[in-house]
Amino acid sequence: MKSVQYPADFQHLDSIRDFVGETAERAGFSSKEIYSIQLAADEACSNVIEHAYEGISGGKIEVECEARDGQIVIVIHDHGKIFDMSAVRQPNLGRDLSEREVGGLGVYLIHKLMDEVSFQSSKKHGNTLTMKKRKSGDV
């Protein structure tokens, strides 16, 4: 699995999107699938920058990406603040936009865009998000 480390800074999101997008493109994913994959990776890394490294300078995000057996696997790893994904509340999509809180859709969006999402977090090993998406066959 190819691995690249980036500074935890919003200015590096383009490079992260390019990295996962190029891997997906080489594997034959459709342009719609590539967009979904890039959006999920962007959202995940934005959450790391905004929440895991909130108030912490010099943080790093490691992104691993591999396409094989008709699917892409993206692993995002950080050593920021510990995060409990199970504590994230499901957004109320039925509420009027003017009544909703700003933010809070990232985890929901990642689950909607990808086929499989798993998350592990510990003080010793940091946070690891694994996302998988299978090719639909509509290339």
pTM for the model stands at 0.86
Residue with tokens 């995000």: 61
In a domain? residue 139: no
Asked if 66 and 2 count as a contact pair (C-beta separation under 8 A), the reply is: yes
Q: E-assigned strands of 25-125? A: 60-68, 71-78, 116-122
Residue 113: domain span: 2-134
pLDDT digits (tens, 9 = 90+) for 30-63: 999 999 999 999 999 999 999 999 888 899 999 9
For the chain, counts of helices (H) and of strands (E): 3, 5
Number of domains forming the structure of the chain: 1
| CATH number of the domain enclosing 56 | 3.30.565.10
Asked if 76 and 61 count as a contact pair (C-beta separation under 8 A), the reply is: yes
Residue range 58-79: mean pLDDT, rounded: 97
What is the sign of the dihedral through the CA atoms of 39, 41, 46 and 47? positive
